[in-house]
Each structure stands twice: as C-alpha cells, then as structure tokens.
Structure 1
Amino acid sequence: MSTPADQSSSGQDDTDRPRALVAALLCLVVLTISGAVGLATAQPWLFPSLGPTVMLFFTAPKQHASRPMNALVGHLVAIIVGYGCFLAFGLAGSTAAPTGGLTLGYVAAGAVSVALTTLVLQLIRLPHPPAGATTLIVSLGILSEPLQLLDMAGAVLLVTVAGWALNRVTSNGQS
C-alpha cells in the first residue's frame, strides 16, 4: 500500500517504475535463457506462449494463474489436447495453417483445442490463460512433431523453474 508521499506528481505510485523495470529485466533474462537453449539445440525452446507466461510470473506473481503448478499443468494439458485435436482432425502431414492456409480442419482443431484446454484447466482449478496459445500452436500445426512437443514441455519447465527461482531471489513472491 502506498502513502501520499509515494505518489508522483502524475499520481502514479513511485514504486511502480522500479517494479516494472524489474519485471521487464526478469522476462528478458528468462526468455534469453530459453532462447539460448533453443539456439544450442536447434529446437523450439522459445515460442509465443512463453511470453505471456513469464509476464504473469513477474507482473502478477500472486495471481492463481501465475503459480508454477498452473503453468506446468496448463501447458502440458495444452500440448496434449492440441496434439490430440491435430491428429483427430486428420491434419498430420498437412502444411501448418500459417503457411498452407487456414482450412476447415484447422479451424475446427484450433477452436476445439482451446475449448477443451479451457474446460480441463477450469475443472481441475489450474487456469493458465497462456496455455490457450500453446494449444493453438500445436493444433494449427505450427509445432506438431513429437520432438517439438517434448522441447515445448522442456521449455515450459525451464521458464517455470527459472521464473520461480528469480521470484524467490528478488522477493517478488509467487504464491
């Protein structure tokens, strides 16, 4: 809780700027580490839904969706459901939606994968909204090879452990 002395002339809490800078730097560190693993292994250890995941870790660490368990389970469910939809809608062997064009099969796989991921995560009470992007990445064929899926899981584990550790070290405090 800030006091009137903590308020700048714009009415903004003077502690907001340092917190924002710390959050930005921690996002930079964690995603750089993940990207470095990707460069070293020539595998997809940096993909779009990791961005909002680390942003949650460092900008809203006390939110339920920011907990390490939510991130780990959320992305794991998303990968499994996304791959299941990718296969169930007969998309294996197809060119990924962004390069081959959106088809009825990709629309169905994408929509169903997000719906099922949402359903499962809500039912088990482990919501993690960035998982919605992960399931789309898989169901749209962007990353759909088994090795890529394992790399995605490894990257999620890495950024989650790094995020948790950095929040502990910086006293940013995850629940």
Structure 2
Amino acid sequence: MLSVVLLAVVGVLGRVFGWLLLTTTLGPTAYLLLAHPDSEAAQVRNAVLGHTAATIWGLACLAVFGLWSNPSVVEQHGDSLQQIGAQALAVGLTLLALLVLNADHPPAAATALLITSGITRPGPPLYGMLVGLAIVITAAALLAKIPWLRQRTRQTVEDQSR
C-alpha cells in the first residue's frame, strides 16, 4: 500500500511540474525498497549504482548504435535490429556492471531498456525518469527506516505470501 501512495505522489508531482516522473522502472524499485528493505537488492547503494550504470550503458549504446535521435519502438511499432542490439547490449553491460560492483538491483535492467528503446529519450524524458528515481529511492529509504511502518510493511508482505 505504501508503494501505491509513493508512486501516486511521484506521478502527481510530475503532473504539477510538467515532467513525466513516473516510469515503469519505479514500481519494482519502490516495491523492493519498501516491501523487502533488508534484501540486498533493496539497498540504496545498489539502487543508485544499478540505475546509474543502466543510464550510462543505455546512453552509450544509443550512441554506439547510432540511435540517439531515432524514433522510439512505440513510434515505429516495433524494434529495428539496431535497437534490439542496443537493448541487449545495454542490459548485458548493466548486469555485468552490477556484478562487478556487487550491487544487485534487478529493476535497473528496465532502465537500460527504457533508454535504448527510445521510450525514455535523452533530454526531458530521461531527466524526468532520473528525478522520479531519486524521489522514490530517497523517500523509500527514509520510510523504510521508520520502525512501526517497517514492521507493518513486513507483516503485510508475510500475510500476502501465505
């Protein structure tokens, strides 16, 4: 439930300021940080390093494959072979970086895909996603430190898994 509230707040903030802050990578990140705050994948360090690595590799693959100003997969109604190559390589390099950095955070792979598919383009869409991630990671990390809230969230997760 806390994830719902946090994501709704981020979405409303984006609407107020005219930026798309709420992207598909935020949901899994919020879930991990709030529902499983003690897991390795939910560590703030891992979330920050994961999404940073994904952003760097996503942008690098856009440049290497000549896709910087290419239409998104949505606009094209499909992936070109260049986009498929960029997507696969960006995700692979992101996962390798996470392994090398010992920073497990699976939602980062979605960030790499959003960038290389052209859905989150360099410029305002990318900035919005990064601002949204910063808000979610910061707020979730702070909320996960509140003892009574942490206990209640843990209990809800345990109840749902039965």
For normalisation by structure 1, the TM-score amounts to: 0.80
Q: 1:11-160 counterparts in 2 under 5 A?
A: 25-100=1-76, 101-160=78-137
Flag structure 1 segments of 5+ consecutive residues without an equivalent: 1-24
Identity %: 32
- The CA deviation at 1:29 is 1.5
Give 1:20's aligned residue. Answer: none
Query: Relative to structure 2, which stretch is displaced further, 142-151 or 74-83?
Result: 142-151
Kindly provide the amino acid, as one letter, of the partner of residue 96 in structure 1.
Answer: S
Q: Which residue of structure 2 aligns with residue 18 of structure 1?
A: none
Deviation (angstroms), 1:171: 4.7
Kept in 2, the 8 Å contact 1:110–1:139? The answer is yes
Runs of 4+ residues deviating >6 angstroms: none
User: When the two structures are aligned, how many residues end up with a matched partner?
Assistant: 149
> Which protein, 1 or 2, shows the higher relative CO under an 8 Å CA cutoff with sep ≥ 6?
2
How far apart, in 2, do the equivalents of 1:160 and 1:47 lie?
13
Tell me how far apart the structure 1 counterparts of residues 8 and 149 of structure 2 sit (CA, whole Å).
21
**RMSD across aligned positions (CA):** 1.4
Secondary structure, in 3 states, of the residue corresponding to 1:168? coil
How far the C-alpha of 1:99 sits from its partner, in A, is: 2.2
Normalising by structure 2, report the TM-score: 0.86
| Structure with higher helix content | 2
Larger Rg: 1
1-structure distance, mates of 2:87, 2:125: 18
Letter of the 1:168 counterpart:
K
Question: Which segment drifts farther, 71-80 or 123-132?
Answer: 71-80
> How far 1:42 moved relative to its partner?
1.8
Alignment check: 8 A CA contact 1:83 1:144 kept: no
Amino acid corresponding to residue 163 of structure 1 in structure 2? A
What per-residue deviation string (whole Å, max 9, x for no partner) do you get for residues 108-127 of structure 1?
Answer: 00000000000011101011
